[in-house]
Structure 1
């Protein structure tokens, strides 16, 4: 089927592996779509899951976090590896994620703040799929500008506008998850079920004091 490696938003502004879209993806997609999900905190990030080692490095040292996550899923023989970046995580995907074994990337609210045109051209030359989910009301990059900027250096990228959505995709979780599934596992029927009557367990939460 498919495996998602989730790269979270900017940790200096509250981004983490427990950000709402990624929490829901990890809870829902394995059961409802048969998709494996790996989420983790990049260096220097704090969440309910704990504090990761190291310090935030502005997307530079995070190269090794991305590479380690991809290697983690590859070593376990998990199928169809895709990167899913959100905000800062989209720049990590573009900067460091065009790796052997990665099929493509889904970019949620890409700001194109940290990544360079040269890094977009690496993806273009690779032939790997890149799909951009761009909020209509984004504070950083809206669909028309996204189409122009990706079109200049990564013209094969698909830009998908999200009507009435903002950068954090609040209230858009179901649509975003359905869109991701449509890209990485097109044989899975969407919209996904909104209820679950199978086995479940309570989440264990660790409280971290900053």
Structure 2
């Protein structure tokens, strides 16, 4: 009988710590997770929430995706800390640039995926990462994009128009109780993109606490439609447990709207 997959469960994968190199000379902390014993059927590049409010490559949905999807869905997961962003895995060079310089970060991730022949590349943004996706993710390599809790704050109508013209699949997964953009308004604002699919999640909130499994099922259904969903909630095989206490403390501070300590402050004990 399989073991229950919990929030900190880590399933088998080939994992590699990386440095992505941007065209403007920065090094970005990153990780690639591949299926352990097969080639991936698809590739997801994750673009994290706002780093000034605790967003990072280890934000809980993305961390769980990297822990689970290579084994459960045969999907490759590439995630990175955008410029100036901190996580336990390290701090990327540079400084947060309000979605402008972040175009080089997206390009570096796509260049890595192309150079390493990663198949069927999709972008998945969350919150601020959805704006970065809309602004800078319309690359020939990208098959489509999924937007989690899109606020439509930094992106502009011309970015939606470009996605509409390109005709690439675009899915907005919108929490019913989102703090910024709820399903009714989302449908109105995304009406400029004929092919967009707006998925309203009943009871969902911006941070997807307690609903990561639902989100991962929605993602896999689109990037790897041949994989059955819902994904298994148990695993019959090797499984380890990650120490997520540092991430949880970091995120709790951010979600309570208090200053989020960087590595220097954490080392100083503040």
Per the normalisation by structure 2, the TM-score is 0.75
2:152 match: 112
Match of 2:91 among 40, 51, 65: 51
**Shift of residue 197, structure 1, vs aligned partner:** 2.9
Q: How high is the TM-score relative to the length of structure 1?
A: 0.95
Structure 1 position 198, deviation (Å): 2.5
Match of 1:171 in 2: 210
Q: CA deviation at 1:127?
A: 1.2
Q: Secondary structure at the match of 1:180?
A: helix
Match of residue 74, structure 1, among 114, 121, 136: 114
Segments of structure 2 that go 5 or more residues without pairing to the other structure are 1-40, 247-262, 266-270
Distance 2:181 2:243 in 1: 36
How far apart, in 1, do the equivalents of 2:107 and 2:221 lie?
Answer: 25
Give distance in 2, aligned partners of 1:196 and 1:17: 24
- What is the root-mean-square deviation in Å for CA atoms of aligned residues? 1.4
One of 200, 223, 236 as aligned partner of 1:161:
200
> Aligned residue pairs: how many?
208
- Quote how far apart the aligned CAs of 1:106 are: 0.4
CA deviations 1:151-186 (Å, max 9, x no partner) are 0x2121100000001101111100000000001111
- Quote the Cα distance in structure 1 between the aligned partners of 2:49 and 2:235: 28
| Equivalent runs, 1:126-145 vs 2, <5 Å | 126-145=166-185
What displacement does 1:209 show?
Answer: 3.9
Task: Note the alpha carbon deviations across 1:2-51, whole angstroms, 9 max, x for none.
Answer: 10000000000000000000000000000000000001000010111111
Cα distance in 2 between the residues matched to 1:203 and 1:159 = 33
Matches within 5 A, 1:1-210: 1-151=41-191, 153-200=192-239, 208-210=263-265
What CA distance in whole angstroms lies between the structure 2 residues aligned with 1:36 and 1:71? 15
1:194 Cα shift?
Answer: 1.2
Query: Whose strand proportion is higher, 1 or 2?
Result: 2
**Structure number with bigger Rg:** 2
Q: What stretches of structure 1 of length at least 5 have no aligned partner? A: none
User: C-alpha distance in 2, partners of 1:68/1:62?
Assistant: 10
Q: Judging changes above 3 Å, is the alpha-carbon distance between structure 1 residues 112 and 26 closer, same or farther for their aligned structure 2 residues?
A: same
Report the alpha carbon displacement of residue 199 of structure 1 after superposing the two structures with TM.
3.3
Aligned-partner SS, 2:70: helix
Deviations 1:139-158 (A, max 9, x none): 1000000000000x212110
Q: Distance in 1 between matches of 2:43 and 2:264?
A: 32
Once residues 135 and 88 of structure 1 are traced to their aligned partners in structure 2, the CA distance between those partners, rounded to angstroms, is 15
